[in-house]
Structure 1
Amino acid sequence: MTRSLLVVEDDGLIRMDLADTLTDLGFEVAEAGNADEALIALGKNRQFAALLTDIDMPGSMNGIALAHYVASSYSDCQIMVISGRYHPAQGSLPQGAQFLLKPISQKALLEALGVAGLKP
């Protein structure tokens, strides 16, 4: 299984911190600042083991819409939706997606990766 993850976060500092943490855990990380950039990365035929996306982002779609797109187009990709501002309504995330509240501790991130079957 690939150990490549796609991190989608519009706040550069949060994205960099999350990417650095995941890299330190042994994952290959691609970064995108919004859903439009994420769609470009996905279109390059990369096989991502997981998508970690913020909810509130500028661009053509928010993180929940991106999560649904990825769930329907890349069925093997695990999905983690993150936010410090919003709590998704019951049933609004794709089946099997996880929600993580910001700020994300390394412990919470490790637990979510473990649930997704992605052990560092």
Structure 2
Amino acid sequence: MVALNSAVVLIVEDEPLIRFNILDVLEEVGHVALEAANADEALVVLKGRQDVDILFTDVNMAGSMDGLQLANRVRAMRPNIGIIITSGMVRLDPMALPANTAFLPKPYMHDTLISTINSLMT
């Protein structure tokens, strides 16, 4: 699968191997991938980069806030950013998510991630 439109995607994942794998997959299909190990790092990246199109965050991670709290904070700061929330432990009701937000349960196929990004970019 290829990216329909190139997006700048901020990956927020505290597991380095998972983060690096996602980064490689996204760059392979033509997206620009940025990374952060936790919500605090993600907020620093977002303050420095106004071109981020998509926030892709895990729910469970160490730091001052989890992925859901980060998503809500980012939604308040940047209402137009697409948000993808992922988790292997928490199941979220997609109807309870804010607009322009998708939930991707782990494990997921790379093609599913790419198509979710594509749908948020249209």
TM above 0.5, yes or no, is yes
Cα shift readout 1:34-89 (whole Å, capped 9, x = no counterpart): 00100110111332010000000111110001111111111221000011111125
Cα RMSD after superposing both structures: 1.8
Instruction: Give structure 1 stretches of 5+ with no counterpart.
Output: none
Corresponding residue number in structure 1 for 2:55: 51
- How far the C-alpha of 1:114 sits from its partner, in A, is 2.2
- How far the C-alpha of 1:4 sits from its partner, in A, is 1.0
- Tell me: higher relative CO, structure 1 or 2? Use CA pairs within 8 A at least 6 residues apart: 2
What's the TM-score once normalised by structure 2's chain length? Answer: 0.87
- How far the C-alpha of 1:92 sits from its partner, in A, is 4.8
What's the TM-score once normalised by structure 1's chain length? Answer: 0.89
- How far the C-alpha of 1:110 sits from its partner, in A, is 2.2
Instruction: Give structure 2 stretches of 5+ with no counterpart.
Output: none
Task: Write the mapping of 1:30-109 to structure 2, written as runs, cut at 5 A.
Answer: 30-89=34-93, 92-109=96-113
Between Structure 1 and Structure 2, the one with more helix by share is 2
